[in-house]
Amino acid sequence: MDAHTITVQPWEKHMLHEIEKAIMNANLGFNPTNNGEIVIINVPILTEERRINLSKQAKAAAEDAKVSIRNDRREAMHEIKKTEASEDMKANAEVDIQALTDKYSAIVDEHYKIKDVEIMKV
């Protein structure tokens, strides 16, 4: 419709109320309406307070991603210790896993920085 309106047109009309409820339950600050055929979401202009809250949410998502990466590293290290490979091979694999962990944690940080700039841009 316009730059501040999102419309959702479901293939199954009986899903309109379910879509509305899901949007409301997502706690995004939107109040969807429907006209019997489409769900209409008016997106308000971001205030400074809302931008700060979105930035905090993005930071929390980035931290969750890094925790997930570290959990995967821990599981991989545990699997390496269970193998019957030589100690040198295990040590090399652990170094490789740590390098991948560092690489992907840095990627997450970089994506967060870019997203934070986009969010805070007026």
| Same domain for 17 and 66 | no
**pLDDT for res 4:** 86
Residue 122 reports pLDDT greater than 80: no
The pLDDT of residue 27:
81
| Cβ atoms of residues 62 and 109 within 8 Å | yes
Phi-psi region at 61: left, alpha or beta (left = phi > 0; alpha = psi -120 to 50): alpha
Residue 65 to residues 44, 70, 77, 122, Cα–Cα distance (Å): 28, 9, 18, 27
For the whole model, what pTM was predicted? 0.71
Q: How many domains does the chain have?
A: 2
Q: Which residues are CB-neighbours of 7 under 8 A, at least 6 positions away?
A: 1, 38, 39, 40, 41
pLDDT at residue number 60: 96
Structural domain including 29 reads: 5-42
Q: How many CB atoms lie within 10 A of CB 105?
A: 16
| pLDDT surpassing 80 at residue 79 | yes
pLDDT for 45 equals: 83
pLDDT digits (tens, 9 = 90+) for 16-35: 999 999 988 988 778 898 88
The residue type of 49 is: E
Q: Which amino acid is at 40?
A: I
The Cα-based distances of 55 to 29, 59, 68 in angstroms read 15, 6, 20
Q: What is the CATH number of the domain that holds 21?
A: 3.30.1360.40
Q: Does residue 7 contact residue 41 with C-beta atoms inside 8 Å?
A: yes
Residues 56 and 36 in one domain: no
- The average pLDDT across 32-53 equals 89
For residues 38 and 71, membership in a common domain is answered with no
